[in-house]
Amino acid sequence: MSEQYDVIVIGAGPAGYPAAIRAGQNKLKVACIDGWKNYDGSYAFGGTCLNAGCIPSKALLESSELYHRAQHEFELHGIKLKGVEFDVAAMQSRKSKIVKSSTQGIAALLKGAGVNALVGHGKLLKAEGGVNKVEYTDKEGKVQVLSATHVVLASGSVPTELKSLPFDGKDIIDSWGALELSAVPKRLGVIGAGVIGLELGSVWNRLGAQVTVLEALDSFLPMADQAVSAEALKNFKKQGLDVKLGAKVSAATKGKDGVTLKYTDASGEQSLVVDKVVVAIGRRPFTTNLLAEGSGVELDERGFVKVDHECRTGMANVWAVGDLVRGPMLAHKGKEEGVVVADLIAGKHAEVNYNIIPSVIYTAPEIAWVGQTEQQVKQSGRAYKVGSFPFMASGRARAMEAAVGFCKMISAVDTDEVLGVHIIGPMAGELIGEAVLAMEYSASTEDFQRTIHAHPTLSEAVHEAALAADKIAIDFPNR
Ligand code: FAD
Ligand code: AMP
């Protein structure tokens, strides 16, 4: 008889491992299968996020930002440094240590929750007699069929390739490749001005690469509030990122000089020669060899596993979470789905609030928002008010030499409910937490106004933006 579980999770990224841990906490018998293999051949839990995404990118963003500040900012503080240098190998080794300790931490967390963590490949088979079946192939290639009442699919996503510029792992690389570079390229082309392209472009720009970002759309960061995107573009250009909008890349040829990229913009055919190209045009759900014939799980026209609002596929007791399903490709969205599914399986009440998922871009300045943009509210036809507060007027931001950007709050006129908060500036990713919690409780502008914010903190910008929405700001002239 095959081993019988209550829950088998396929994938141990930020969607899968929390599902497994919560299922374990719910006293269910759980297995979690993951086959992530690193460049050095080692297996690791944690998925894209820990091995090749959120964590390594933030480690390199931090190192490169510190180098940039040492070069350009320390003198303003009266700190004189001579001969500031950096060592890419040391930066990479720091990053690898952080990644390794994080992924080892996941293995320990799974064990602590009583989850049987299995290294290898999982595939959903056709259910037999109402029991779900998973084929598990271990590292040595041994195949077993496991049985489970519930299966949670969490196989994540992989970078989208540009057909005309296939990845070669050397000159034309994906985001993972861009996190593993051992030297700073002289000229770096980044295709796609999305979150990943901008973060990685920033890292190598700060370390001295001449970075050109080619973006097919005419608009910059169209998902962000327009005031935020305009402020971001202004700052990135000032930092030396050459962002070309309306530039659609169609081909690349490799030669002695480097890689020649062909693109079209409003003036016609153009070309650009670079040493390396990072293709960051988005990610696609990963379903290769995940679903056996007859499993019954359906994909939509873009390749995502079809699920309802509770992450149920059309098959009994088969669920899917994270980048594999519709919605923003964000670690915290997947985590919440994983936890909610594990609670639903245990018969508890749980739901994901898809309207209140924060977005963060870890550039400098940082960008973060939650809820609707001004453009979305305007389009909805609802009467709204806007309050904005610049960090230039924040004592703490000035003391930090980080007085860039603003906080903007958009609220409904009829109910005073806060509909969106948009921040570009220092620690925006941390500041947005207050707005997320408040909006989860349907906070009004007045709730923000009457909440005491410590002085001097950056969070006063959120407070003042709320006051400004009713033209009662204290620290900045009301308009
Ligand atoms: P994944 O993390 O992709 O994990 C899926 C796991 O399943 C992998 O380990 C994979 O090997 C395994 N797997 C797949 N198929 C099988 C199978 N059949 N059998 C066994 N195992 C299988 N998001 C943020 O929220 N914040 C950020 O700052 C951020 N930064 C990013 C930076 C970069 C450079 C990139 C590339 C992404 C970033 N993301 C960020 C996105 C984030 O990484 C993803 O949204 C998140 O990892 C999705 O989680 P997941 O669990 O759905 O999938
Ligand atoms: P994201 O999906 O947020 O990671 O962003 C990817 C970005 O890449 C989007 O803004 C796309 O418009 C852009 N993009 C896609 N294909 C191309 C292309 N061929 N040339 C330039 N930019 C592209």
Per-residue pLDDT, 215 = 98
**Whose C-alpha lies nearest to ligand 1, atom 40?**
54
Nearest to 126 by CA among 296, 287, 10, 6: 296
Residue 382 near residue 420, CB atoms below 8 Å: no
Residue 298 main-chain phi, psi, to 5 deg: -100, 150
Residue 479's pLDDT band (boundaries 50, 70, 90)? confident
Residue 3's pLDDT band (boundaries 50, 70, 90)? confident
Q: From the candidates 68, 72, 453, 455, give the one annotated as an active-site residue.
A: 455
**Whose C-alpha lies nearest to ligand 1, atom 27?**
54
> How far away, in angstroms, is 104 Cα from ligand 2 center?
33
The number of the ligand nearest the C-alpha atom of 295 reads 1
**Whose C-alpha lies nearest to ligand 2, atom 19?**
249
Q: How far apart are CA 404 and CA 431, in angstroms?
A: 14
> How far away, in angstroms, is 285 Cα from ligand 1 center?
10
pTM over 0.95, yes/no: yes
What residue type is 171 in one-letter code? D
At 357, list the tokens.
């998922």
User: What fold, for 357-469?
Assistant: Enolase-like; domain 1 (3.30.390)
The number of the ligand nearest the C-alpha atom of 429 reads 1
Residue 183 near residue 167, CB atoms below 8 Å: no
In the chain, ranges of CATH 3.50.50.60 domains: 4-159+284-352, 172-281
249 lines ligand 2 (CB under 6 A): yes
Choosing from 271, 281, 363 the residue with most ligand 2 atoms within 8 A of its CB, the one to mutate for a pocket test is 281
User: What fold, for 172-281?
Assistant: FAD/NAD(P)-binding domain (3.50.50)
Residue 455 among the catalytic residues? yes
> How far away, in angstroms, is 48 Cα from ligand 1 center?
3
Give per-residue pLDDT as tens, 292-339.
999 999 999 999 999 999 999 999 999 999 999 999 999 999 999 999
**Whose C-alpha lies nearest to ligand 2, atom 2?**
282
Residue 136 near residue 220, CB atoms below 8 Å: no
Residue 204 pLDDT exceeds 80 = yes
Per-residue pLDDT, 251 = 96
DSSP calls for 207-269:
TT-EEEEEESSSSSSTTS-HHHHHHHHHHHHHTT-EEEET-EEEEEEEETTEEEEEEEETTEE
What's the rounded mean pLDDT across residues 386-402? 98
Give per-residue pLDDT as tens, 121-178.
999 999 999 999 999 999 999 999 999 999 999 999 999 999 999 999 999 999 999 9
- Percent of the chain surpassing pLDDT 90: 99
Give the CA distances from residue 286 to residues 178, 367, 432, in Å, rounded to whole numbers and listed in that order.
Answer: 20, 28, 30
215 lines ligand 2 (CB under 6 A): yes
Give per-residue pLDDT as tens, 177-186.
999 999 999 9
* CATH superfamily placement of domain 4-159+284-352: FAD/NAD(P)-binding domain (3.50.50.60)
In the chain, ranges of CATH 3.30.390.30 domains: 357-469
Residue 2 pLDDT exceeds 80 = no
Residue 71 pLDDT exceeds 90 = yes
Residue 390 pLDDT exceeds 80 = yes
Give per-residue pLDDT as tens, 118-133.
999 999 999 999 999 9
Q: Which residues sit with their C-beta closer than 6 Å to ligand 1?
A: 10-16, 33-36, 47-49, 52-54, 57, 121-123, 154-157, 175, 196, 286, 290, 322-324, 329-332, 334, 362
Give per-residue pLDDT as tens, 209-245.
999 999 999 999 999 999 999 999 999 999 999 999 9
Residue 1 pLDDT exceeds 60 = no
Per-residue pLDDT, 273 = 98
Give per-residue pLDDT as tens, 72-127.
999 999 999 999 999 999 999 999 999 999 999 999 999 999 999 999 999 999 99
Residue 36 pLDDT exceeds 70 = yes
Average pLDDT, the chain: 97
Residue 28 near residue 351, CB atoms below 8 Å: no
At 103, list the tokens.
């992924």
Residue 283's pLDDT band (boundaries 50, 70, 90)? very high
> How far away, in angstroms, is 194 Cα from ligand 2 center?
7
**Whose C-alpha lies nearest to ligand 2, atom 5?**
194
> How far away, in angstroms, is 220 Cα from ligand 2 center?
11
DSSP calls for 140-173:
T--EEEEEEEEEEE---EEEPPBTTB---SSSEE
